[in-house]
Amino acid sequence: MQYTKNRQVVTASMTSIDSKSMHLSYTVKGSDVKSTVRIPFDPPLMGFEEVKPRLMSMKVDAEVDLGMAKNPIIARFEIPFMQVLPVLILEMLLVWTTYSKSLGAQSLRQFVGPQIIKSSWIFMVVMHVSESCYVLYLCTKHQTPFASKFLWWFSAILLGYPFIFRYRGLVKEARIDSIMKGS
């Protein structure tokens, strides 16, 4: 969310914070006048223990938006089992419906029709190819080693979006960890 349209901010500092919002003061390039902006918390902070993690997350988001964040290196591969399971079930259902000789598969093929099955395959292939290209881009951007990069790409080709979400989660975790180590 953007709270000021000015991209020429030179300095910024937090002047106050409470459970509902924080106030920032900033100076703009070519001016000595300090301006202020109120940034609401959504949802509001429930207690003191939420302040630091929320501010760290906001700092990471701000650095990414301003182009100041270094891209962390993601060297590991993780399978997001809970997100993969529904996709795997749907893909197995599509394969079973398309190729099985059983009475259930034949009945399902007749019920949905060949055009729906063909469209489902086209949709799946187009989506998984585009998702795998995006994962490959992310892996290159974050200097993922070849073996891990191959696993991320191959997994995205087979199962799609859960691997994008998990990779982006690893990137965010790595950014927050680097900030926590630096503070």
Summarize pLDDT for 19-45 with one digit per residue, the tens: 788 887 888 888 888 888 888 877 887
Whether residues 101 and 26 share a domain: the answer is no
Whether residues 94 and 153 share a domain: the answer is yes
Whether residues 127 and 41 share a domain: the answer is no
In a domain, 3, yes or no: no
Read off the pLDDT band of 122 (50, 70, 90).
very high
Read off the pLDDT band of 1 (50, 70, 90).
very low
Instruction: Check pLDDT > 60 for residue 6.
Output: no
pTM: 0.64
Contacts of 82-86 spanning 24+ positions with Cβ under 8 A = 83/161, 83/162, 83/165, 83/166, 84/159, 84/162
Mean confidence (pLDDT) of the chain: 85
**143 or 176, which is more confident:** 143
Chain-centroid distance of CA 118 in Å reads 30
Read off the pLDDT band of 160 (50, 70, 90).
very high
Instruction: Check pLDDT > 70 for residue 79.
Output: yes
Whether residues 107 and 43 share a domain: the answer is no
Q: How many domains in the chain?
A: 2
Can you give the residue range of the structural domain that contains 176? Answer: 81-182
Whether residues 118 and 161 share a domain: the answer is yes
Whether residues 38 and 99 share a domain: the answer is no
Whether residues 158 and 87 share a domain: the answer is yes
Amino acid 5: pLDDT: 57
